[in-house]
Amino acid sequence: MTEPAITPELVAQHNLTPDEYQKILDLLGRGPSYTELGIFSVMWSEHCSYKNTRPLLKTFPTKSRKILVGAGEENAGIVDIGDGLAIAFKIESHNHPSAVEPFQGAATGVGGIVRDIFTMGARPICSVNSLRFGPITENGNEMGSAAASAASFGASPDEAVGEAPTRTREGACAPQIQNNRRLFAGVVSGIAHYGNCFGIPTIAGEVYFDKSYEGNPLVNAFCLGVLRHDQIARGAARGVGNPVFYVGPATGRDGLAGAAFASQDLTEESAEQQRGAVQVGDPFMEKLVCEACLGLLATGAVAGIQDMGAAGLTCSTCETAARAGTGIEIELDKVPQRAPNLSSYEIMLSESQERMLIIVHKGREEEVKRIFDKWDLPWAEIGFVTDTGRMVVKHHGQIVADIPAKKIADESPVYQREAGEPEYLKETRALRLDQIPQTTDAQTDLLKLLSWPTIASKNWVYRQYDHMVRDGSVVCPGSDAAVLRIKADSLPDLGSAREARAFPEKFIALTVDGNGAYVYLDAYEGGKIAVAEACRNLACSGAVPLGVTDNLNFGNPFNPELFWQIREAVRGLADACRAFHAPVTGGNCSLYNQSPNGPIDPTPTVAAVGLVEKPEHVTTQWFKDEGDAIIVLGDAVDEQDPLLGLGGSAYLQVIHGKKTGTPPRCDLEQAGTLHTTLLGLIQSGLIKSAHDCSEGGLAVCLAESCISQLVARETPRLIGATVDLTRLLTPPHSPSDAERVAGRPDEWNVRLDALLFGETQSRVVVTCAPLDAVKVTERAKLMGVPAAQIGRVGGDQLTIKTVGGEFSAPVTELHDAWWNAIARAMA
């Protein structure tokens, strides 16, 4: 086939700048072939090279005594969990593909992250996801970020500054809502299809709905696997002369240049043009590939292994050679192909799924063939390892690519982008407490919050997932963190020459968290809060953090205001990870997340993994027994916060239609003390339930504790509570003039809406036996954590007493609003 001439227009179509093209010319000492141009375009894309974020990522803490494989070393990080066992885990995005083809985009996102785990030699044992969509209901938060801020101060949406969407609540029309529902349903179906068919439990996750994600949903997929220390596999092309095998289904044109597609703004035109960049997955094939690869690794015949993920054959060849400091030569005529007349450009850039590249110790080729024939999998010997340090690609007897492997894999251009504080923050920071109308009907407000899809039960989602397969699930979706039991059959098989060793069962807790509204309003505080909430959810489950993996979802880094968001959020994430001794084991950067309406809210998502020392320490969020004492750990309201926890809150968004203000402060020292104290109380056997107080504040936390337990899939166990929130308040005093101006009541030093719905950080609601209540509160106070008993569990109503009186709601009514909200929206 005749290759096109390399012109400036063709270079620009490959998202390479003139300076980058000049660097290619300097590196090669000649002009690139068309295939080489395609190789550079994907390997130097943001998706593969992190050229705009690499300097920021270096600020993350990545070391600890338990880290066996660190961030950036391989396809996934690996952490020691004791007794010679380890876990491999990672999170990655498939945002743009899911916007174009939601089912296949989400399905192949799951498939890709699963391959990253078994490539490390680990058996995948669970999946988690973090999802974001536009609104699926006509009410709730329908405002764009900048428009909401402007509207809250009387400005018209057209006067809102920055690049954020400028749509008011009234602007959300039925076709947009229907499209959001279509994307939501398609993504959930794709995740369910791939995970259920592969046979892996999808055990936890989160879903947010906000106008900023309309047209550009976020689909972040996480996987965790288990292995022994001596089973860690490496993605390096070691051993000059060792043969290189291609394993898995034949290469086609699906997924062509998917990495490059993920590294550009999403528009209607680009989405239509790049529909072919969305891969097509086959989970049954992936299951065969997984078992065959784990079986082959057990023989010791593998010198290196790498999945063909982003950038396909290109990435797998150059990266394995770069890691080993070797070279690699392949012949494309030997690559299995399912479409006729594929060009070298298409073969190298295709992202057809379920394919692996395996470097085999010379002389052991027959073992490879035998194992893959056993699993009825296609294979082909396509090349060998060299000592040249170059990636050489041949096709039809001609060299079509000859590039230094390390230069293409590890030495992409790196940029220090300009950063500038966003203009819209002047508006959002100006919000004062007296501009927020006080609640006039707390019970109705609580029901509205519980039925807001972001807060409402996600059972419509997780009931489509098999979260019990492999019989390791201890705490299923619906609590602060999921808990998984690691047992003997969780591990990869050993070779015939080795004996299995007995080990005690392990209990791993997992959660994923991230609040884009907080990061939009204060990127640094929002970044800290994402990590703090994830670690708090682990603590509520009885787990100590082992590490985190993050997915950085942001807009176009060329915009100084958007790059400022990235920089500040990363700074917050890094500081919080250090505070909680939770190293970053790896992750993913997904930039250019914006539709023609504007960028998404900056959304770093944090998946945290922790270890529960003993099975009796596993704790869940729902109330347990009649008569149990209810205790709040942490300050009821942060009085150093001028908005008392209402800034950026769910209450402000749902009840007042505003996404503005400054989010709650995150005091990392205070948060760490709370987590240590809570874990100590759980490990001493005093705590029956523990629930993180986050979106929706204390009232929502109490309601969820009453209504979130499932005895079976269809049978909820509901239990009421009677609480007196006046016990959390200091005695009446004569207010100062400043307090009167701030809108605080004369009788007490806190507003009712702030007490009920404010999102002050570092708070947990726990329960214990009545006789243990004094012991729990006194121990907490001794550790420096405020603690107050506020009520007891029991009855069929949630009754909340406040300074202004009390209100009650049947738990059946609360449960109906919370449990059925998404199902009603999707009906």
Pairing assessment for the beta strands 243-247 and 356-360 based on DSSP bridges: antiparallel
Distance (Å, whole) CA 120 – CA 352: 20
249-284 core/surface letters (b: 16 or more CB in 10 A; e: else): bbbbbbbbbbbbbbbbbbeeebbeebeebbbbbbbe
Q: Please tell me the distance from the alpha carbon of residue 323 to that of residue 489, in angstroms, as a whole number.
A: 32
Q: Is there a contact between 327 and 388 (Cβ–Cβ < 8 Å)?
A: yes
Exposure letters 123-159 (e unless 16+ CB within 10 A, then b) = bbbbbbbbbbbbbbbeebbbbbbbbbbbbbeeeebee
The DSSP secondary structure of 56-72, one letter per residue, reads HHTTS----TTEEE-TT
Query: Is 47 among the residues known to form the active site?
Result: yes
Sign of CA dihedral 405, 410, 416, 421: positive
Nearest by Cα to 467 from 453, 480, 484, 450: 484
The C-alpha atoms of residue 543 and residue 620 are separated, in whole angstroms, by 11
Contacts of residue 71, Cβ cutoff 8 Å, sequence gap at least 6: 57, 60, 62, 77, 583, 584, 585, 586, 587
DSSP letter for each residue of 593-616: -EETTEEPPPEEEEEEEEEESSGG
d(CA 360, CA 611): 35
Rounded CA separation 86/615 (Å): 18
Between CA 24 and CA 44 the distance in angstroms is: 11
Q: Are 769 and 629 in contact (CB under 8 A)?
A: yes
Q: How far apart are CA 331 and CA 395, in angstroms?
A: 6
The active-site residue out of 94, 361, 395, 656 is 94
Rounded to whole angstroms, how far apart are CA atoms 190 and 192? 5
Give Cα 299 distance to the centre of its chain.
34
Cα distance between residue 668 and residue 762, in whole Å: 9
Cα separation, 631 vs 787, whole angstroms? 7
Q: How far apart are the first and last CA of the chain?
A: 51
Cα separation values, 789 from 682, 766, 778, Å:
17, 9, 11
DSSP assigned state of 456: S
Distance, C-alpha 233 to centroid of its chain? 25
Rg (CA), the chain: 27
Query: Which one from 47, 193, 467, 656 is the annotated catalytic residue?
Result: 47
Measured CA distances, 305 to 233, 234, 530 (Å): 7, 6, 34
CA 678 to chain centre: 25
657/652 Cα distance (integer angstroms): 6
39/548 Cα distance (integer angstroms) = 31
Would you call 94 a catalytic residue per the annotation?
yes
> Which residue type does 297 have?
L
| Structure token digits, residue 39 | 């190789």
Contact 111, 286 (CB under 8 A): yes
Distance of CA 461 to the CA centre of its chain: 16
Q: Is 793 helix (H, G, I), strand (E, B) or coil?
A: strand
Check if the beta carbon of residue 418 is closer than 8 Å to that of residue 560. Answer: yes
Q: Rounded CA gap, 223 and 111, in Å?
A: 10
- Residues marked as catalytic: 47, 94
